[in-house]
Amino acid sequence: MIIKAQHHKIIYPFFQWLTLHKVSRNFGAVTISGKYDEKGLPVLLIANHVSWWDGFWVSYLNLKIFRRKYHFMMLEKQLKVFQVLNQTGGYSVSKGSRSVIESLNYTADLLKDPRNAILFFPQGKIQSMHTVSFRFEKGIGKLLEKVENKIQVFFIVNLIDYFSHVKPDLYIFFREYPSENHDPDFLQNEYNRFYSSCISEQQQKTDS
């Protein structure tokens, strides 16, 4: 049995406040780049997984742009250690076990509700921010095959730069993935293309 997400009436709002507080306190500036058209659909957020901060960054984006009930998948062993995250939308996956299918089915069920946003890391592990090409595991393709209703899928790229500041600036790029092609390799290539464009845009900021 997987650990399903909860949204405690006190802990979840506190977590939202904590997200805004921690991001504003630890980063010099936050720049969000992207276009969002509200369609009243569930939202699947596909992001690069580079640090402990990822969940806060995407939660920040959700609070500012998507304004959905936030959910995120975590390794079961980590969720059992940080149980409070279950009260803020975290639910479990146990890689290499049969319960992975249950986790994917649960995610697909969450994506039936237009009030929900789901954060998904298709690479399945934390990688360096200097990674230039991401390789997706099969889970993202299997998930999208299970989703029968309309959803909005967004690519997210989180980057930081210090420039001449003590605190880093945070740059959050997002773009809707409009295609119905759910082939993992195609999705991976499209994400990598978007990631490369974000790096190029970031380099232009450095050069200017």
Question: Is residue 66 included in any domain, yes or no?
Answer: yes
Between helices 54-61 and 11-26, what is the axis angle to 10°?
100
Model pTM above 0.95: no
pLDDT reported for residue 123: 82
| 21-47: pLDDT as tens digits | 999 999 999 999 999 999 999 999 999
- Is 74 a domain residue? yes
Does residue 109 lie in a domain region?
Answer: yes
- Comparing CA positions, the residue from 160, 196, 156 lying closest to residue 30 is 160
More confident residue, 200 or 59: 59
Predicted confidence at residue 114, as pLDDT, reads 98
Per the structure, the complete domain to which residue 145 belongs is given by 11-207
Banded pLDDT at 184 (limits 50, 70, 90): confident
Tell me whether residue 1 is in a domain.
no
Q: How many CB atoms lie within 10 A of CB 45?
A: 23
- Position of tokens 């991401």? 134
Query: How many domains are there within the chain?
Result: 1
**Has residue 93 been placed in a domain?**
yes
DSSP symbols for 39-95: -S--EEEEE---STTHHHHHHHHIIIII--EEEEEEEHHHHHHSGGGGGBTEEEE-T
Q: How far apart are CA 132 and CA 196, in angstroms?
A: 7
d(CA 85, CA 70): 11
Is 4 domain-assigned?
no
